[in-house]
Amino acid sequence: MMKKTARQDTNTNTVLCKFCGNTHERDKNKCPAFGRRCSKCGKENHFAVKCKTKQDRDKGKQVHHVTERNSEEYEDIRSVTTAEILTVTGKEASGDKTQNSQLFAGMLIGKELVKFQIDCGASCNVIPVNLLSPDTQLESTKTVLVMYNKTRLHPLGKCKVKVRNPRNKKQYRLEFEVVNEDCRLPLLGKKGK
């Protein structure tokens, strides 16, 4: 069975266009998509409504991480990429898989490896004061942190901290809201400043 991509009206020279989705004369210059760029795939001469790029491939190509380079040797992170991971439990033989509800990243602060919890629901980065060097200067902040259970926490201040990824040796400067020692784990939120 052959699939028709454009229908032609026999009385006039019009077609249902496979590039724009409209009916117009059979002339590429009459097509509103001609010379225009697709918002889905970025290629020219068709609209997103008629794009043949597969949806699954596009999902993995969305931008989730933006960095800003300074003249120094570190980068500012504007956001953190999060990923859903599946871990195999002790029931490997039966093929049961469970979804891990917590995701962690080990980063170096100075020479100490610190375990950060990645929290895609958090809108900022949070670090306990005891993980900072004693000479770290805190800036005042008017931010009030609202926890998942709706409780409120007033940070001690905010600061920028240099952290290094031990795997690729890249150094980043992240802004953290600083809280007291009761917070056991530092958090990397979905947006860093």
Q: Which domains does the chain have, with CATH numbers?
A: 14-59 (no CATH), 67-189 (2.40.70.10)
- Residue 118: per-residue pLDDT: 86
Query: Which residue is it, tokens 């794009």?
Result: 51
Residue 86 pLDDT greater than 90, yes or no: no
- Residue 190: per-residue pLDDT: 76
- Residue 92: per-residue pLDDT: 43
Q: For the residues 181-189, what does the mean pLDDT come to?
A: 82
Q: What is the CA radius of gyration of the chain?
A: 26
Neighbours of 121 (CB within 10 A): 9
The residue type of 62 is: Q
Confidence of residue 160 (pLDDT cuts 50, 70, 90): very high
* Upper half-sphere CA count for residue 73 (Cβ side, 13 Å): 5
Identify which has the larger pLDDT, 12 or 80: 12
pLDDT tens digits, 95-123: 444 455 678 888 999 889 999 888 888 88
- Sign of dihedral through CA atoms 175, 132, 153, 189? positive
Q: For the residues 54-62, what does the mean pLDDT come to?
A: 52
